Amino acid sequence: MTTKSPLSPMPSPENSESTVGRRLRNLLVVLAAIALTVSLLFGIRTQTDTSTLTTLAENSTPLEVALSNGKPTLMEFYANWCVSCQTMAKDMGELEQQYADKVNFVMLNVDNNKWLPEIERYRVDGIPHFVFFGNNGEAIAQSIGEQPRTIMAANLEALATGNPVPHARTTGQISKFNAPVKSAKAGSDDPRLHGAQVVN
């Protein structure tokens, strides 16, 4: 027969509340850690896509060089915020490695006003917007929007071998883009600049 000694611990209401509180705190810490991990993974994924576009732009051939070096050229109008551009970045990077010795790759960021003349010339109103140039630097085809890798590969193969681009004028998923308005120059005859038609 066992008897309880006066020194044996008795469960107290304070101890059971302390255990529940500790367990609840631990559960909240675990949930916060999971939420932080998920957020970090999504953040890294987004950063990687943008970094890839930035890396492609940094490694691209300057426009002036591309249009005068005797190689065919693929020019892409893009922006870091463009979801379709980000989606295609990995494939474009791989295609660039595959065709680097045969085709110039030029990246023009539509957020840079430096490219406004090109944006207007090629009527860029959605991105990504691709312009294909022959060996002589003349535009021979365009395609707009997100393109499957197979379509881009076929276009690049044709461009590299001097054949007609098979998927010219294709349109895929785009990110809308509105070019900033260019300021009117004195004496401009451009009919789109309504103020240029008024003579003082």
pLDDT above 90: residue 105: yes
- Predicted confidence band of residue 38 (pLDDT cuts 50, 70, 90): confident
Task: Tell me if residue 102 falls in helix, strand or coil.
Answer: coil
Catalytic residue among 67, 85, 95, 127: 85
Residue 147 is among the residues annotated as catalytic for this protein:
no
181 lies in a domain? no
Looking up residue 136, the CATH number of its domain turns out to be: 3.40.30.10
Query: 71 Cβ partners below 8 Å, 6+ apart?
Result: 102, 103, 104, 135
Query: 182 Cβ partners below 8 Å, 6+ apart?
Result: 116, 120
Q: Exposed, middle or buried: residue 74 (CB in 10 Å: 0-12, 13-18, 19+)?
A: buried
101 lies in a domain? yes
141 lies in a domain? yes
70 lies in a domain? yes
Segments forming the whole domain that contains residue 172:
54-176
According to the model, what pLDDT value does residue 18 have? 80
Distance CA 45, CA 91 (A): 16
Question: Between residues 194 and 25, which one has the greater pLDDT?
Answer: 25
Q: Which residues pair with 126 in a beta bridge?
A: 176
Catalytic residue among 75, 82, 119, 144: 82
pTM: 0.63
According to the model, what pLDDT value does residue 183 have? 45
Kindly state the average pLDDT of the residues 77-85: 94
- CA-wise closest residue to 56 among 71, 76, 82, 42: 76
Token couple for 178:
């509105």
Residue 92 to residues 52, 98, 116, 124, 200, Cα–Cα distance (Å):
10, 10, 23, 19, 52
- As for how many domains the chain has, the answer is 1
147 lies in a domain? yes
Helix pair angle (13-59, 83-99), 10° resolution: 50
pLDDT above 50: residue 188: no
46 lies in a domain? no
Distance CA 56, CA 182 (A): 28
Residue 34 is among the residues annotated as catalytic for this protein:
no
| In contact, 146 and 86? CB cutoff 8 Å | no
According to the model, what pLDDT value does residue 21 have? 83
91 lies in a domain? yes
| In contact, 106 and 149? CB cutoff 8 Å | no
21 lies in a domain? no
Distance between start and end Cα atoms, the chain: 118
